[in-house]
Structure 1
């Protein structure tokens, strides 16, 4: 399910844009989940607690408090993958969006034809970003976490915990499947632990240190883990 955020201090504008998105996505047999925000401060606070839980965010530029451009800059400091689309009543602001790698913009009032173009581009960008994302589902919904933000994963009785920068997630699954999906750049330390090689700070004996945590390395995986870590440290 596509998760779309709409941030605008005008409630009528938020509702109008959501209805337009629903019409456009209905043609693609998609039923997105929408999240409404009335301020830049509000969406920033939400993203601090729910990193990786939005696929796309529409940002009104001319908001009171923290405006849309400043909000986008703060988001980009933490998340380089969230698809950003500016909403504005003035075309003069459009080119500013390139400084924060915004995908596109829509002018108020938003027309379905224009929104259809933007959504097509957004879906294309998400598809291109997909190889760099780890996707999983739990009771709270579908999550996409950038692989380069993951520190390590731990499995306990088929419950997998993903330790990422500033956030942890849990889901029901097999660590073997996660290892296959994550692919190159991750190394199995132990039956219960899978780590991103670049996140390993050091290896001492049968212990790998990541983010201040000491993770065990099994005898069966020790040589392979040490070789992968050494290659990374040597730049190869």
Structure 2
């Protein structure tokens, strides 16, 4: 499933882009989910890094595409942005917000499909798994492999990551379920540990990026088995 947002204030172009996407879906054999926004402020409001590709008109009434892209980049560094414009000079400015490409109006299917192919190829090459966490006053999209461990403190979850610490709301039980298909282990009541970042064991602790995280007595054997299995998979 490829999730694509169309941000375009002209109905005729909205309809044309949907038509092209459905044709592309058949030609390439992809499954595409489409959501339409009529202005930049609509997609920015409550944005939660939910799209793979954004087709963004540059000139819109309330919030132009460049400003919307700047806001989106604050919370989502991975989404592929393609600008739709009738002015080629906007394409150069697009590099400031890491736009992949641009499509000139009036739009024709062949160049559009070429750019979409390029976007999907880029998206799949850097395909990673992400989790969206709720922070005070906003949201944050975290790459799962960048999470070292998560600590539970009351009703708060502290994510220790490659980028630093983030305090989020939620429960450890829900998070453990969400990350169950990845290499995470519940070392004790307070810690959920990413086995990818475990360097070894020190007495009753897992050594994670130089920190000693206590593994409860009842879980040590299972932890060692999980860690050995993980290391075995990595070595293979």
Q: State whether TM-score is above 0.5.
A: yes
Q: Give the equivalent residue in structure 2 for 1:177.
A: 181
The gaps in structure 1 that reach 5 residues or longer are 136-143, 155-162, 180-185, 199-205, 208-214, 226-236
Distance 1:99 1:63, change over 3 A: same
- Residue 86 of structure 1 aligns to a residue in which SS? strand
Q: Give the equivalent residue in structure 1 for 2:227.
A: none
Q: Give the equivalent residue in structure 2 for 1:146.
A: 143
- Residue 54 of structure 1 aligns to a residue in which SS? coil
Where in structure 2 are the equivalents of 1:8-87 lying within 5 Å? 8-47=8-47, 51-87=48-84
The gaps in structure 2 that reach 5 residues or longer are 132-140, 153-158, 160-165, 197-203, 206-212, 225-236
User: Once the 2 structures are TM-superposed, how far is the Cα of residue 147 of structure 1 from its aligned partner?
Assistant: 2.1
Listed one character per residue, the Cα deviations across residues 44-63 of structure 1 (whole Å, up to 9, x for unaligned) are 1141xxx2321110110001
CA contact (8 A) 2:5 2:37 kept: yes
Between the aligned partners of 1:221 and 1:187, the Cα distance in structure 2 is 11
User: Once the 2 structures are TM-superposed, how far is the Cα of residue 118 of structure 1 from its aligned partner?
Assistant: 0.8
Between the aligned partners of 1:85 and 1:178, the Cα distance in structure 2 is 31
CA contact (8 A) 1:175 1:192 kept: no
**Bigger radius of gyration among the two:** 2
User: Once the 2 structures are TM-superposed, how far is the Cα of residue 173 of structure 1 from its aligned partner?
Assistant: 6.3
Between the aligned partners of 1:171 and 1:188, the Cα distance in structure 2 is 11
Distance 1:177 1:23, change over 3 A: same
Q: How many residues align?
A: 187
User: Once the 2 structures are TM-superposed, how far is the Cα of residue 187 of structure 1 from its aligned partner?
Assistant: 6.0
1:218 equivalent in alignment to 2:224:
no
Between the aligned partners of 2:130 and 2:177, the Cα distance in structure 1 is 13
Q: Give the equivalent residue in structure 2 for 1:210.
A: none
TM-score normalized by structure 1? 0.64
Q: Give the equivalent residue in structure 2 for 1:133.
A: 129
Between the aligned partners of 1:116 and 1:26, the Cα distance in structure 2 is 12
- Residue 43 of structure 2 aligns to a residue in which SS? helix
Q: Give the equivalent residue in structure 1 for 2:192.
A: 194
CA contact (8 A) 2:6 2:36 kept: yes
User: Once the 2 structures are TM-superposed, how far is the Cα of residue 153 of structure 1 from its aligned partner?
Assistant: 9.8
